[in-house]
Amino acid sequence: MKKKVLSVLLASTMVASLAACGSSDDAVSESTSAATSTSAAASSEDTAEAYNLTEINCVVNGTLTATEDNGQAEFVEQWEAAVSEILGHDITLNITQLDHSGYVDAVGRLFVSGDLPDVMIMSADMFKQYAPTGLLWDMADAYDNAEFQNRLNLTGINEGLKDSEGHLYGFAPAYGNGCVTYVKQTWLDAVGIDINDVTTFEDYYNMLLAFHNGDPDGNGVDGDTYGVIASGYIGSEAPWINYLPEFWQDAYPSLVQDDDGVWYDGFQTEETKAAIERIKQGVADGAIDPDTLTASTKIAREKWFSNDQTGSEGAFTYWAGTWYQTLTDNFIKNGVDAELAQLAPIEEVGAYLNREAPVWVIIDDGDGDDSREQAIFDAFIDTMMDGDVVQTLWTYGAEDVHWSIHAEEFTTNPGTDSATTYSYEEGEFHLKQSPNDSNSVWKKNAMDPALVVSPLTNGYTDTSELAVVGNEFFTDNCVDAPVSPSCDAWTEYSGEIISARTEAISKVVRTDNSITVDQAMEEYVAAVGAYIDEALEQLNAQ
C-alpha cells in the first residue's frame, strides 16, 4: 500500500473521531491536500506508460463475492491478464478484503494509519464523509473522457455524485438497491396467515407474535421461535433503518432535510422515540429475536435459514433481487422449505428505501500530479465497464471457475429431495457451482447485472427468475433514501454521533428497564448535542 505522511494533528484528531465508528476527520495536512484534476484524460496506454503503473492495491468489503476461499485468486489472475492485454503492459492487482460488518471502522483505521490503498469501495455515507477531506482524487475529467461513456444508460447516477463545483470523487458502477421483508411461507401456513392480509403494523406485529408464541417450525414446542431478526436495531450506515423498516416507519434517525430543505436531527424526534419504544416492546414480546442486538448480517441471515429452525425467525428484511435467489438457495441447501413470500410495504412504511449507490474511490497522493491517479482510473475503473471481458469478471467472476460457456452437467444437493440437475450445451453461458459449496450455484461477483449503469455487450446474462421477480418487486415498492449529510462537522464527529445513537437505543431496549427513552435522549444530547448543532449549522448555511 502507498504510505502517506499524515500530520500529527490529523492523526490525533482522526483517532479521537474514529475510535467509535471509523469516521474520517476533515482536517488534512499539506502533504494530503488533493490537487484539483486539471488535465484532460489521455489515452489509457499513454497515461499508464507515463506513470509506469505496475500494481494496484485495492481494499474491498463483502461486496466482492469472490473471496479468498471462493475463487478470488482466479479472478485476480484473469483480471491481470485481461487488463494487460488492454493496456499493453502488466499490472499486479493486490486485494485486501475486510470484514463487511466492521468495514467502516477498518477503513477509518486505515486513514488514521496513513497506510492507504490506491483504490477502495465506500458506502454512500462513508463517501459523503471522506469526499470533502482532500484525500480522494477528483476523477471528473477522467470520468467525462472515459471509454465507457458511449455505453452509459444510467448517466444520472454518477452525475448526481458531482458536487456543486463539478468535482467527482467516486464512481458508482450501479445504482444502490435496497431491502425488502421476506417471510417464510411454511410459517405463514402454520399460523394461518395470508401475506396479502398483512397491510398494517398491527397486522405485521401480530404475525411476528404468532411466529413466537406458536409452533411455526413444527417441532411440537410453542415459544421457541421468534418473529424477526436483523443486524442491529439500527444500521451502521445509511439508510440506517432498512433492516427493521416496519418498526422505524416514518422515523429517520439521522441528520435529514425537511420538505423545505432545512436540516434537522431526526434522531431527536417524537417519531424516533416512538420507533425505539416499538423495538423495546418487540424484544420484550419475542417479536424481535434478542440476538438482533449483536448480530452481524452474516449471523442474522445464517440463523434465519439454518437447518435447525428452532430458535429461528419467520421474517427477515434483506437485500432485494439477487438475494431473493441466494436466500432461497440456502434454504434448499439446508433442507428447509424454501418458499419465501415478499411482504409489500405496510401502510405505516409506505415504501422501501433505495439506498444511495456505493462508490469506488481513488486515493489522491497529494503531489499535485494526476498521472498516477489517472493511470489507476484507466486500469481499474475504465476497464471495469468495458462491456466485455473485465466487466464480466466484476459481474460474474472468473471464467471456468464461477461461470462457463462450455458444455457440462452437474447436480446440486444430490441424493436429496432438493436435488437439481443443470445441463448446458457448448457455447451456452451459464453459472457454475460455487467454488466452496458444490450445492450452491454461483450468483454474481461485485456487480449485479440488473443494476449496472452500463450493460454488458457480449450477451452474457444469467439472472434467475427469482432475481428478476425480486428486482421488479423492489422497484415497484421503493423510494430514494434521504440524501446523506456532507459537511466538515459531520465528517469529524459522525463516529461519536452514530455510537451515541446506538448506545441510546440499546439502553432503552434492555429488558431491565434501566432507562426511559426520554432519559436516553437526554444523555444522547449531553454527549453529542454540541457536535450535532455544529453540523446542522454548517449544513443549513450551505
- Write the secondary structure of 34-98 as one string of H (helix), E (strand) and C (coil): CCCCCCCCCCHHHHHHHHCCCEEEEEECCCCCCCCCCCHHHHHHHHHHHHHHHHCCCCEEEEEEC
User: What pLDDT is attached to residue 5?
Assistant: 32
- Torsions phi, psi of 229, nearest 5? -130, 150
Distance CA 276, CA 312 (A): 23
Residue 61: name the closest of 15, 91, 95 by CA: 95
49: which 3 cell numbers? 506508460
Please tell me the distance from the alpha carbon of residue 297 to that of residue 317, in angstroms, as a whole number: 10
Helix (H) or strand (E) holding 476: helix 465-476
C-alpha closest to that of 75 among 399, 360, 383, 382: 399
Residues with Cβ within 8 Å of residue 85, at least 6 apart in sequence: none
pLDDT at residue number 241: 97
- Give the position of cell 428484511: 317
Give me the pLDDT at residue 511, please.
Answer: 67
Kindly report each contact of residues 82-86 with a partner whose C-beta sits within 8 Å and lies 24 or more positions away, as own/partner.
Answer: 82/383, 82/389, 82/390, 82/393, 83/379, 83/383, 83/390, 86/44, 86/383, 86/386, 86/390
Separation of alpha carbons 32 and 133, rounded Å: 9
360 forms beta bridges with 121, 171
Which single residue is written with the C-alpha cell 447485472? 449
- Measured CA to CA, the distance from residue 35 to residue 169 in angstroms comes to 12
- pLDDT attached to residue 506: 94
Three-state DSSP at 183 gives: strand
In this prediction, residue 29 carries a pLDDT of 30
**By C-alpha distance, which of 454, 362, 477 is closest to 174?**
454
User: Could you give the angle at which helices 488-509 and 8-21 cross, rounded to 10 degrees?
Assistant: 30
Characterize the bridge pairing of strands 340-343 and 313-319.
unpaired
At 31 the pLDDT is 31
The one-letter amino acid at 312:
S
**Contact assessment for residue 24 and residue 130, using Cβ atoms and an 8 Å cutoff:** yes
d(C-alpha 153, C-alpha 140), whole Å? 18
**If you search the block for the grid coordinates 441466494, which residue do you land on?**
326
Is 175 in contact with 357 (CB distance < 8 Å)? yes
CA–CA dist 426, 284 (Å, integer): 57
* pLDDT for res 125: 84
Please give the grid coordinates belonging to residue 359: 462508490
For residue 471, the one-letter residue type is: N
In the sheet that holds 340-343, the strands lie side by side as 226-229, 313-319, 179-184, 340-343
Helix (H, G, I), strand (E, B) or coil at 263: strand
The predicted structure's pLDDT at residue 40? 35
User: Cis bond leading into 239, ω under 30°?
Assistant: yes
Consecutive H or E run containing 250: none
Cell numbers that stand for 239 in this block: 439508510
Q: How far is CA 499 from each of CA 22, 24, 231, rounded to the nearest angstrom?
A: 10, 14, 15
Tell me how far apart the alpha carbons of residues 508 and 229 are, in angstroms, rounded to a whole number: 18
Given this model, what pLDDT does residue 513 score?
67
The phi, psi pair for 105, rounded to 5°, reads -60, -45
Q: Is the dihedral of CA 194, 197, 199, 203 positive or negative?
A: negative
Q: Which pLDDT score, from 0 to 100, does residue 417 have?
A: 84
Contacts of 476 (CB under 8 A, 6+ apart): none
Per-residue pLDDT 10s for the chain (542 aa) are 443 333 322 333 343 333 333 333 333 233 333 333 333 334 444 444 478 999 999 999 999 999 999 999 999 999 999 999 999 999 999 999 998 778 888 898 998 898 899 999 999 888 988 998 899 999 999 999 999 999 998 888 999 899 889 999 999 999 889 999 999 999 999 999 999 999 999 999 999 999 999 999 999 999 999 999 999 999 988 899 999 999 999 999 999 999 999 999 999 999 999 999 999 999 999 999 999 999 999 999 999 999 999 999 999 999 999 899 999 999 998 999 999 999 999 999 999 999 888 999 999 999 999 999 999 999 999 999 999 999 999 999 999 999 999 999 999 999 988 899 999 999 999 999 999 999 999 999 999 988 999 999 999 988 788 988 999 999 899 998 998 898 889 988 998 999 999 999 999 998 676 799 999 999 999 999 999 999 999 999 98
343 vs 199: CA distance, rounded Å? 9
